[in-house]
Amino acid sequence: MAHGELQTILYVEDDLDIQTVARLALEVVGGFTVHICSSGRAALATVEGELQPDLILLDVMMPEMDGPTTLEALRRLPKTAATPVVFMTAKVQGSETAHYRSLGAIGVIPKPFDPMQLAQQVRALWEQS
Partner 1 sequence: MTFSDSPVLPTDHSAIAVPCRVLLVDDQALIAEALRRMLADQPNIECHYVSDARSALQTAVEFKPTVILQDLVMPEFDGFELVRQFRTHSVTRQVPIIVLSSKEEPKLKAHGFALGASDYLVKWPDKLELLARIRYHSAAYMNLVKLAQANAELERLGRMKNEFISTVSHELRTPLTSIRGSLGLLTGGAVGQFSAQAKSLLDIANKNCERLVRMVNDVLDIDKMESGNMPFELINQSLVRLAEQAIQATQGYAQQYNVGVQLQCDMAELADIEVAVDRDRMIQVLVNLLSNAIKYSPAGTAVEVRIRREADSVRLSVADHGNGIPKEFHDRIFQKFGQVDATDSRQKGGTGLGLSICKSIVEEHRGSIDFHSEVGRGTEFYVILPLPSDAVPVRAQTTIQ
Q: Which residues bind partner 1 (CB under 8 A)?
A: 15, 17-18, 20-22, 24-25, 28-29, 90-91, 93-96, 98, 111-116
106 and 125 Cβ atoms separated by less than 8 Å: yes
CB 16 to partner 1: min, Å: 9
Q: Which amino acid is at 12?
A: V
Supply the DSSP symbol for 78: G
Q: Give the span between the Cα atoms of 33 and 104, in whole angstroms.
A: 23
Shortest spacing between CB 97 and partner 1, in angstroms = 10
Closer to partner 1 by Cβ: residue 4 or 112: 112
From the CB of 72, what's the least distance to partner 1, in Å? 23
